[in-house]
Amino acid sequence: MDREFELAVTDRLLTLVEARTSDLAPTTYEVPVEVYVDEQHARRERATLFRTTPVLAALSCELPEPGDFKAVTIVDVPLLLIRDSAGGVGAFLNACRHRGMKLTPDGTGNAERVTCPYHAWSYSREGSLVGVPRGPQGFPGLDREDRGLAPVAVAERHGMIWVRIDGSPDGTEPIDIDAFLGDFGPELARWKMETWHFQDRKVHESKANWKLALEGYTENYHVEFLHKGTLDQLAKSFGMMHRSFGDHQWMAFPNHPIDKLREQPRDEWEPLKVGAIAFIVHLFPNTIFALFYDHFEVFQILPGPTADTSITIQNFYTPDVVPDEDREELLGRFQFVYNLLQAEDYWAVQQTQETLGTGANRTLIFGRQETPLHQLHDSCAKHLAGGVA
């Protein structure tokens, strides 16, 4: 983290806290409840926002060595990411080219070859078909080049790996990730994600639309009410700093220790280290980064099979290798955060989802202090309307 950036953000947060305000949108913003409940709208989102838009599938640190792979399912499409022998990353549909079985369940591993458990067809790290048991007898004339794994467009930048499920018939049209990120690229690069260390992951299966699940990560207005007696003991419910970069955005939030910084010389401040500030990054469409001094959490928030369901993959990383003697305490903290989210945030969005089909509200209204929600829905609407190629 660049120190001048950290201090400049802290200066701004102190100003906002003193005024008991946040970076405010010009007006309030309303969205029709149909965007959370309508099945046709949900199908359009899955097709446009999650299949033709680049979506984060992994961080580079999850695949540090040749042969490391990660299998993950995104909007019902099973994918396989694998670090090839030259150090690049390939992405493929996680399906054998013999009779279509999944090559491996969702998870991670390392392999010289990826072998189908059904009939042992095997594939190289580059996706080529390299093994067919009793091939000459059973499959005379088989064109192995035509039976390699089906590729999916993939890009790696700033320690992150994106896929685009649709976009060209054979998956070979490259992702222009620099165009997708625009000016947001340097904002992501400052966190040096390529140096992180993966620790653990857990899954939230929620009976709530994916946008409801995502919205709560981007504002602190709810903290002193929903999290009374828990998170409100650490975090403030005002003072949010917001910066926008096209479809992407980041927020900085003040925690209670920020008040003590006023008593210290500015050149002695260590705001991240003492927990005085925290950052949230929203990478469009569906990824949230919660960034702290000694750990990072990445939430991949995906639509479920119906409009009123979602899946959140919660990933836990650290900036350094964790000694064995510290691992139990660290994972205990991760479990605590997971349990808190389940008990409070995901409870709240499920309670919200239950009311949206009742007619009680035709629209939901976002306040001026909920600026990130305005941007999320603006960007979703723009993509769905075809405003983005």
Name the percent of the chain lying above pLDDT 70.
98
The string of DSSP codes covering 198-219 is EEEEEEEEESS-HHHHHHGGG-
Q: Based on the domain organization, do 101 and 237 belong to the same domain?
A: no
At 1, is the pLDDT very low, low, confident or very high (cuts 50, 70, 90)? confident
Q: Tell me, what's the pLDDT at 167? A: 67
Query: Do 194 and 159 lie in a common domain?
Result: no
Position 381 scores a pLDDT of 97
The pTM assigned to this predicted structure is 0.95
d(CA 148, CA 153): 15
d(CA 369, CA 258): 20
How far is it, in rounded angstroms, from Cα 206 to Cα 213?
A: 8
Q: Which of 174, 208, 233 is the last residue of a domain?
A: 174
| Whole-number Cα distances in Å, 384 to 94, 167, 366 | 28, 16, 21
Rounded Cα gap, residues 209 and 351, in angstroms: 11
Q: Are residues 168 and 139 in the same domain?
A: yes
Residue 388 in this model has a pLDDT that exceeds 80: no
pLDDT tens, residue by residue, 364-377: 999 999 999 999 99
**Does residue 179 sit within a domain?**
no
Q: Are residues 106 and 147 in the same domain?
A: yes
Classify residue 40 by burial, with Cβ atoms within 10 Å: 0-12, 13-18, 19+.
exposed
Per-residue pLDDT of 216-267, as tens digits, reads 999 999 999 999 999 999 999 999 999 999 999 999 999 999 999 999 999 9
Q: DSSP 3-state assignment of 17? A: helix
Across 290-294, average pLDDT: 95
| Same domain for 342 and 200 | yes
Task: Indicate if 282 and 317 belong to the same structural domain.
Answer: yes
Q: 363 and 219, same structural domain?
A: yes
The parent domain of residue 334 ranges over 3-51+185-384
Q: Quote the mean pLDDT of the chain.
A: 96
Q: What's the CATH number where 104 sits?
A: 2.102.10.10
Contact 166, 51 (CB under 8 A): yes
Is residue 13 domain-shared with residue 135, that is, in the same domain? no
Same domain, residue pair 219 and 365: yes
Task: Please state, in angstroms and rounded to a whole number, the distance separating the CA atoms of residues 352 and 226.
Answer: 13
pLDDT computed for residue 168 by the predictor: 61
Average pLDDT on 323-343 reads 95
The pLDDT of residue 389: 39
DSSP secondary-structure letter at 384? H
Distance between CA atoms of residues 278 and 256, nearest Å: 11
pLDDT digits (tens, 9 = 90+) for 305-319: 999 999 999 999 999
Round to whole Å and give the CA distance between 182 and 176. Answer: 10
Closest of 9, 13, 57, 8 to residue 287, by C-alpha: 57
pLDDT at 139 over 90: yes
CA distances from 310 to 74, 96, 145, 222, 290 (A): 11, 27, 38, 21, 19
Q: How confident is the model over 111-137, as pLDDT tens digits?
A: 999 999 999 999 999 999 999 999 999
For the segment 181-217, what is each residue's pLDDT rounded down to a tens digit?
A: 999 999 999 999 999 999 999 999 999 999 999 999 9
pLDDT reading at 61 higher than 80: yes
Residue 62 domain-assigned (yes or no): yes
Q: Are residues 344 and 210 in the same domain?
A: yes
**222 CB contacts (<8 Å, ≥6 apart)?**
216, 237, 348
What is the secondary structure of 163-208 as a DSSP string?
Answer: EESSSSTTS-SPP-HHHHHTTHHHHHHTT-GGG-EEEEEEEEEESS
- Same domain? For 46 and 66 the reply is no
Of 174, 197, 228, the one marking the end of a domain is: 174
Are 288 and 214 spatial neighbours (Cβ–Cβ below 8 Å)? yes
Whichever domain contains 342, its CATH number is: 3.90.380.10
Q: Report pLDDT digits (tens) over 146-155.
A: 999 999 999 9
Find tokens 């089909």 and name the residue: 357
Q: Is the dihedral of CA 223, 229, 230, 236 positive or negative?
A: positive
At 68, give phi and psi (nearest 5°).
-65, 135
Q: For residues 364 and 346, what is the distance between their CA atoms, to the nearest angstrom? A: 18
Pull the structure tokens for residue 133: 């048991």
Cβ neighbours of residue 28 under 8 Å, at least 6 residues apart? 365, 366, 367, 368
If one counts the domains in the chain, the total is 2
| Of the residues 174, 194, 220, the one at which a domain ends | 174
Q: Are residues 198 and 77 in the same domain?
A: no
Torsions phi, psi for 8 (to 5 deg): -65, -40
Residue 173, pLDDT score: 85
What one-letter code names the amino acid at 263? E
